[in-house]
Structure 1
Amino acid sequence: MTYTITTTIDAPFDDAVAAVMTALQDEGFGILCDIDVKTTLKEKLDVDVDQYRILGACNPPLAHEGLVEEPDLGALLPCNVVVYETDAGDVVVSAVDPQQLVAITENSELDGIATEVHERFERVLAVVTDQLTTESELQ
């Protein structure tokens, strides 16, 4: 069983991060946190790793709806979207699958919200893939 929705693209890392942020915004998500794992691990552990960013995405109306139904849902928020480089130089964009995440609550009242967020994340990944694939083909 997979717990993420993922795409792999051949694009510059920074372009992918920017495209993901824009696509999330277009789907009604704000970025509550942006963790630069590469920089953090270098500063804290003095280790070098490939580019890796964790974006904490939140759609306020959907988060509110979920929190009204299940106050402890906040422990699972925000929904994380990661962007990272592979050893082969590709960029992976991976979003938590909200349907899998919400399933652990065993609250069926959250199913509709999870489906809505899942569909929005699917659109985000499709837009990013299409946009960056088209841009790389034009170069």
Structure 2
Amino acid sequence: MSGFTMSTVVPTPYEQAVADVRSALADAGFGVLTEIDIKATLKTKLDVDVDPKIILGACRPQLAHAALTADSRVAALLPCNVVVSADGDGSSLIEIMDPGVMEEFTGTAELGPIADDARTRLTGVLDALTSAT
């Protein structure tokens, strides 16, 4: 496997990038089920300061159900993690777990078309974020 994420850098400050990612995910039919603020968590738990970073657990219920029906073990790979990180000079890095890893990790061929659909939608999210700037 050559990589497990898809990514782009946008010339958008972190707070705006987080809002833009949420909006682009919604436009692609994904909801955000979970949210982990890495900066706040590490400050609270370890008293360390890191640059802003958030993990959004994105889910499209129809795809999640189809994937779980094909192979229930895929639950360990859900939801699709979308990471937004401050990237220095007012830009932000957006990284999304590549859904293609589901088939590769599990060896379940039936996950291929489901992962392709999710990948197409999430690639569209990245494209929308890039073209909006």
The interval holding the TM-score normalised by the smaller chain is over 0.9
CA distance in 2 between partners of 1:71 and 1:100 (Å) = 15
What TM-score results when the alignment is normalised by the length of structure 1? 0.91
More helix by share: 1
CA RMSD of aligned residues (A): 1.0
What TM-score results when the alignment is normalised by the length of structure 2? 0.95
Q: Look up the SS of the partner of 1:92 in the other structure.
A: strand
Residues 83 and 95 in structure 2, CA contact (< 8 A), matched pair in contact too:
yes
Residue segments in structure 1 that go unaligned for 5+ positions in a row: 134-139
Partner of 2:129: 128
Q: Specify the code of the residue in structure 1 equivalent to 2:15.
A: D
Residues 74 and 102 in structure 2, CA contact (< 8 A), matched pair in contact too:
no
Partner of 2:42: 41
CA distance in 1 between partners of 2:90 and 2:51 (Å) = 9
Partner of 2:101: 100
CA distance in 2 between partners of 1:78 and 1:26 (Å) = 17
CA distance in 1 between partners of 2:102 and 2:38 (Å) = 22
CA distance in 2 between partners of 1:79 and 1:3 (Å) = 11
Which moves more between the two structures, 86-95 or 26-35? 86-95
Q: Look up the SS of the partner of 1:98 in the other structure.
A: coil
Q: Specify the code of the residue in structure 2 equivalent to 1:105.
A: T
Percent identity between matched residues is 45
Residue 86 of structure 1 deviates from its aligned partner by 2.4
CA distance in 2 between partners of 1:77 and 1:84 (Å) = 20
Paired residues, number:
132
> What aligned pairs does 1:5-24 form with structure 2 within 5 A after superposition?
5-24=6-25
Structure 1 runs of 4+ with >4 Å offset: none
CA distance in 2 between partners of 1:30 and 1:36 (Å) = 17
